[in-house]
Structure 1
């Protein structure tokens, strides 16, 4: 039984850690979780579920309840381990109905996950942990021969007669209260930190009002081979980008959130506008050296059908190469993109596209089109026929998308 107990302790502690990760990701969806991420590239179902309307209960993220649930189980197991046999059986037995309730809640959450149309692997792992805990507790209770005596012991725990057992019950209740208080207080602190960094709601309302007060333009955007999202999506976002631009990197973090949250409901289409005089004749001076080469790399990746993977790899590395971009970085991102795509490494074809006349012609075509629209800065974004210059607040972009989807 000791072996089973240790497994249960590890499982409950792991559940608390995973729930904590989900809670943190709920408030900071732009964070890169590396190997524990739900998906590769822009595919992250955990963010989509964590930002869905079903992600909260009474204003508190579901993940916070998960942290509290597994923390209580861990606490009860530690009490059972260090207490005498009398309390060991009490706490182990009390866990059984709690875990049954947890499994029932998981079934409801799984149904909602199916309704959303995403599979959050971190969420599923907590469901699996619960099933294992339930099975182990069932085998524990099955081995107890005198269950009537066990029920009597549990009854006496909640209706104690001796002063020492009254004290134990009081301490147990107080600890559960403070544990709950700590988890929810930490959640509120996280929420406050996020709220402090967000754009005030009054400003978002004004931005939305000003945005829709503008007359939409009827623009015939040319074809581009640089697309993210669903080509059949209702909402189209057009972005003129310099792929070495620091503001474009900031917008990339918003794009990650948009593509995760709205997945099949949005398409983002990119156009070259390098702020580099070596290929952009409308630039009096170069702002981002080698951004023409970065545009060529994006063209090559798109031509090989690895644009999404290359784009993700490129901007994931941006903080490390922003002041020293060159051929070495281009091919490093190509290697990473091919790994994400699980494709055969065809470096020769990539190099041919990179240095092709087609790349030169398309970049030039996009620059000329941008000039007709009087584009002067990157990113310049078009949604619903209206123009946004610079990096808009994430809440502002989400509000526009929600409004367009509701039409």
Structure 2
């Protein structure tokens, strides 16, 4: 066995063996992918979705599950003095970026020194994976939302950890300093000799993460300004408050949501109306995104002359029948 290890050490001494190179490149790709995913999640937190990320987050559903997770208390450290909100994804961005740097460092070293950056990657990946598992548990059992981008980032962390551990195994040697003390010593030397470079790299990654956050905020603010910003919103509120209060009879109307919710919405719709169908999908999504906060009352407004004298739409005869059937079913 020792002979095999010695042969492995001899093969590695002159450069990088093929299995190690494949593993290091795999870890590097996973790290880069994790950085990109973290960037998208930072954008999601501030409400500035990237088109591709939004499509992924809505996979199999009309609901942006990533946005649902981003609204939770676990999505950020909120109210940090001077800085403001710090998205959880920003920590992921720094972790993946630094892991990529360490994989590159390992690939540039010979077998006698490459263990140190790999050990550092593994040491960082273990708590990162634990945090990911905790967030996965929260998403599944507390938020009831599965964020595809979050899942992809968890997978990236697992790949980074696995790649670093297996690459470490392929970099094993039988030198006298082999073992935990030797690994700790080589790790300390690696960090000390590169403390300025790596410190600067981490600083730049943190600055980059905050830069992405700032761009996301500005993008959202720009979108709001194009819409009209606070001035238009104020005008709309004034117009709304100027309208006389009207009372709608909702006794016996079918409802969806929490009957005791503070927000009540009354919907007038026709079962044959395609626009009403699209609106109902949006309302369903709103109910899922804000559970317990609102209740929807449904009122029939069939666009057919059989039940509305003012209508002249013979092709909508079934609207009246559908409305009556719905009322019967509700009772």
How would you bin the TM-score normalised by the shorter chain? 0.5 to 0.7
The yes-or-no answer on 1:121 pairing with 2:145 is: no
Matched with 2:101 is 75
Q: Are positions 1:21 and 2:30 aligned together?
A: no
What TM-score do you get using the length of structure 1 for normalisation?
Answer: 0.54
Partner Cα separation in structure 2 for residue 49 and residue 82 of structure 1: 39
Task: Give the greater-gyration-radius structure (CA).
Answer: 2
Return the alpha-carbon distance in structure 2 between the equivalents of residues 269 and 133 of structure 1: 50
Cα deviation per residue 1:79-114 (whole Å; 9 max; x = unaligned)?
322345565322212111111121122233234322
Q: Which runs of 4+ in 1 moved over 4 A?
A: 29-35, 83-87, 201-206, 210-216, 221-224, 229-233, 240-245, 251-257, 263-275, 279-283, 360-364
Where structure 2 has 5 or more consecutive residues not aligned to the other structure, the ranges are 1-18, 79-84, 325-331
Note if contact 1:45-1:260 (Cα within 8 Å) is conserved in structure 2: no
Which residue in the other structure is 1:220 paired with? 250
Residues 117 and 190 in structure 2, CA contact (< 8 A), matched pair in contact too? no
SS of residue paired to 1:53: coil
| Closer/same/farther in 2, CA of residues 21 and 189 from structure 1, 3 Å limit | closer
Aligned residue pairs: how many? 285
Task: Give TM-score scaled by structure 2 length.
Answer: 0.65
Q: Cα distance 1:90–1:359, how it changes in 2: closer, same or farther (>3 A)?
A: same
Instruction: Assess, with a 3 A threshold, how the Cα gap between structure 1 residues 259 and 136 changes in structure 2: closer, same or farther.
Output: same
- In 2 relative to 1, CA 73–222 (structure 1 residues): closer, same or farther, beyond 3 Å? same
* Partner deviation per Cα, 1:231-288 (whole Å, 9 max, x = no partner): 878454234579788xx98x8997587345225754556668799xxx99879xxxxx
Q: How far apart are residue 17 of structure 1 and its match?
A: 2.6
State the SS of the aligned residue for 1:57.
Answer: strand
Task: State the partner residue of 1:152.
Answer: 185
Counterpart for residue 169 of structure 1? 195
Please give the root-mean-square deviation of Cα atoms over the aligned residues, in Å.
4.7
* Structure 1 unmatched runs, 5+: 161-167, 284-291, 294-354, 365-407
The offset of 1:185, in angstroms, is 0.9
CA contact (8 A) 1:25 1:50 kept: yes
For 1:196 and 1:254, the matched residues in 2 are separated by 25
Aligned partner of residue 249 in structure 2, secondary structure: coil
Distance 1:187 1:34, change over 3 A: closer
Change (3 A) 1:102 1:17: same
Separation of aligned partners in 2, 1:217 and 1:159: 73
What SS does the corresponding residue of 1:237 show, helix, strand or coil? Answer: strand
Q: Is residue 257–residue 287 contact of structure 2 (8 Å, CA) maintained in 1?
A: no
3-state SS in 2 of match to 1:118:
coil
1 CA distance for matches of 2:322 and 2:114?
A: 72
| In structure 2, distance between residues paired with 1:261 and 1:10 | 34
Q: Would the alpha carbon gap of residues 244 and 206 (structure 1) be closer, same or farther in structure 2, given more than 3 Å must change? A: closer
Say whether 1:237 aligns with 2:197.
Answer: no
Give the match's secondary structure for 2:38: helix
What is the match of residue 298 of structure 1? none
Residue deviations 1:285-329 (CA, integer Å, cap 9, x gap): xxxxxxx89xxxxxxxxxxxxxxxxxxxxxxxxxxxxxxxxxxxx
